[in-house]
Copies of this chain bind each other. A is one copy, B any other.
Amino acid sequence: MDLLPHLVDLNADYARAIDNDELERWPDFFLDPCLYKVTTADNLAHGYESGIIYADSRGMLQDRVTALRQANIYDRQRYRHIVGLPSILARNGTELRVETPFLVVRTMRTGVMDLFATGRYLDVVPCDDERQSLRFRERLVVCDGARFDTLVALPL
């Protein structure tokens, strides 16, 4: 199985779920347990473990979606992910390590757009069961920079 087209689909669909206000689909892109962490390139370079956002189960991801819904966050802002092509860094029989660049533009309800974040995804994606769709075991979101000016924000 050539996995690159499947990785492209996974990334495109992940971005569409967030950008098109289908947040309830977001946890389904992850296995359970999982690791989803948003951090910065500086934190990563210094070996700091703490992230800006952290979840290690699908339940924690679902809780985050619930919180975002209660805050009506999507009414106030939306994202547009432009995701580059995935690079497969390593592959063994059971999983892939993948790096993918991204850029996110945020549009506020007022119509103001700004460059919200850029960076790269560092993913671990099991590929041992060809009958299953690909999902993330880990998605580490490493931001070059980001406008972390809100306590509640949509997922990256």
* A101 and B145 contacting across the interface, CB-CB below 8 Å: no
* A85 and B12 contacting across the interface, CB-CB below 8 Å: yes
How far is A80 from B145 in the complex, measured between Cα atoms in Å? 10
* B113 and A80 contacting across the interface, CB-CB below 8 Å: no
* A103 and B103 contacting across the interface, CB-CB below 8 Å: yes
- Tell yes or no: A83 within 8 A of B by CB: yes
* A101 and B84 contacting across the interface, CB-CB below 8 Å: no
Name A82's contact: one of B9, B15, B20, B101 (CB within 8 Å): B101
* B113 and A78 contacting across the interface, CB-CB below 8 Å: no
Name A101's contact: one of B5, B80, B85, B119 (CB within 8 Å): B80
How far is A30 from B78 in the complex, measured between Cα atoms in Å? 30
Min C-beta distance of A76 to chain B, whole Å: 13
How far is A114 from B84 in the complex, measured between Cα atoms in Å? 18
* B87 and A9 contacting across the interface, CB-CB below 8 Å: yes
How far is A129 from B77 in the complex, measured between Cα atoms in Å? 42
Residues on B with beta carbons closer than 8 Å to the beta carbon of A82: 82, 84, 101, 103, 118
* A105 and B107 contacting across the interface, CB-CB below 8 Å: no
A 107-156 contacts with B by CB, 8 A = 107-108, 111-115, 118-120, 144-147
Contact sample, A vs B, 7 pairs, CB 8 Å cutoff: A41-B78, A80-B144, A82-B103, A103-B103, A107-B145, A113-B145, A114-B115
